[in-house]
């Protein structure tokens, strides 16, 4: 699930402009901070926010082979 929200940082706390879905209750979330005051891009529409986010995700993503399997023992040389 990808959801883009705007918020304001106040005294070190992030205050969102809208409430989160109850589906997220108890889940661990990752947050990406984009300082809109330093950006020349338009953040007014949902589509432009989603497009910018997905471009940033794509920049740091890579494809794994279809037969790839995560092996914890191999990672830690057990």
Instruction: Give me the pLDDT at residue 23, please.
Output: 87
CA atoms within 13 A on the CB side of 21: 9
Instruction: Give me the pLDDT at residue 76, please.
Output: 85
Instruction: Give me the pLDDT at residue 41, please.
Output: 52
Domain boundaries defined on the chain:
7-61
**Per-residue pLDDT in tens (0 to 9) along the chain, 78 residues:** 777 888 999 999 999 998 888 888 999 988 888 887 765 555 456 778 888 888 888 888 888 899 999 888 888 876
Instruction: Give me the pLDDT at residue 9, please.
Output: 92
Instruction: Give me the pLDDT at residue 78, please.
Output: 60
Q: CA angle at residue 34 from 52 to 11, to 5 degrees?
A: 155
């Amino acid at each position: 699930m990808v959801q883009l929200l705007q918020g304001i940082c106040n005294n070190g706390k992030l205050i969102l402009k809208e409430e989160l879905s109850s589906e997220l209750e108890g889940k661990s979330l990752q947050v990406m901070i984009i300082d809109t005051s330093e950006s020349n891009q338009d953040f007014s529409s949902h589509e432009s926010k989603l497009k910018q986010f997905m471009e940033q995700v794509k920049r740091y993503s890579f494809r794994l082979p279809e037969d790839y399997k995560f092996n914890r023992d191999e990672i830690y040389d057990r």
